Structure 1
């Protein structure tokens, strides 16, 4: 006998009222490697988003992984370095409304207290150059929200909101 036969089935649950569905966000993880007032950036190529622009080593969180695991994975995939999750510190959160597709994105920016390995370009098909740039002399063109987040990090602000109507 089925334990949830019609006699024991709960009453139908009403659909939620319009606008009350839980929000689904794309979560981006970004690595902020700093050295004597300079930040490590890569120049994107052959990418659907921000092709030719400078950006932090970054990627999207995958299903089933924590934000720390996702950041560690991206560092290994893109740069060939190993970062232990306990060596990552969240330094900024940016809630970004993407003007291109209207998608809300939560961008998380981490620094690493330590890592092992030598930084190498592990994705030359997606990145033409990797280098440190002075925080007061960022290159052009740069991904807009990256420049915004770096300015907020430099100012010591843990949270910013970009692209949302006032």
Structure 2
């Protein structure tokens, strides 16, 4: 059963219960949800949900991937698919697809997102997509497997394990550091 708007709303509200300081940044998402927009759909160009993974390796470094289309280092993640039943399972699926790391070697660190990030995505004329925003529900995972030799080359050109302080968002770095203590 595909991810529903109710699941997204419930997850967002649960997150805000733990992180009320993030509400100002998420008000546009809350307002969009009030319009009954289907933000689970990639075709909702005001903003749509994506699922991201912060993967902590055996030496406490964080996996980053080099995204082919955007030509930048990112955390693994991507769009929701019809077979995804929760945001967390979508994040795990994307992590495994993009890196080749098996789901059996990954352990979730909590059932709720560690962060929700809203960021702009540039237009992609090849896909007929205008500028839009991603509402990225980020989940924390751990692994003892560090081999990413089976990267999904259609989307990912490289991978690297970096220290927590290399995360581009200091807010996310603080959240990850607290969760790993």
- The TM-score, its normalising length taken from structure 2, stands at 0.54
CA distance in 2, matches of 1:116, 1:94: 27
From 89, 94, 97, the equivalent of 1:69 is 89
Query: How far does residue 41 in structure 1 lie from its aligned partner after superposition?
Result: 0.8
Matched, 1:56 2:113: no
Paired with 1:103 and 1:119, the residues of 2 have a C-alpha distance of: 30
Between the aligned partners of 1:77 and 1:152, the Cα distance in structure 2 is 27
- 5 Å-filtered alignment, 1:140-155, equals 147-148=168-169, 151-155=170-174
Aligned to 2:50: 28
Establish whether residue 44 from structure 1 lines up as the match of residue 67 from structure 2: yes
Listed one character per residue, the Cα deviations across residues 60-111 of structure 1 (whole Å, up to 9, x for unaligned) are 1112422122122112211122336972532111233547545343211111
Higher-Rg structure is: 1
Point out the structure with the larger helix share. Answer: 2
Task: After superposing the two structures, state which structure 1 stretch, 30-39 or 66-75, moved more.
Answer: 30-39
Instruction: Establish whether residue 129 from structure 1 lines up as the match of residue 158 from structure 2.
Output: yes
Matched-pair contact (CA < 8 Å) for 1:61–1:70: yes
1:59 match: secondary structure: strand
Separation in 2 of the partners of 1:111 and 1:37?
Answer: 12
Deviation at 1:117, TM superposition (A): 8.3
2:119 to 75, 78, 96: 96
The alignment's TM-score, normalised by the length of structure 1, stands at 0.59
Aligned residues: 125
Q: CA 1:40/1:113 → structure 2, altered by over 3 Å: closer, same or farther?
A: closer
Gaps of 5+ in 2: 1-31, 40-47, 124-129, 177-181
Counterpart contact for 1:81–1:115, Cα < 8 Å: no
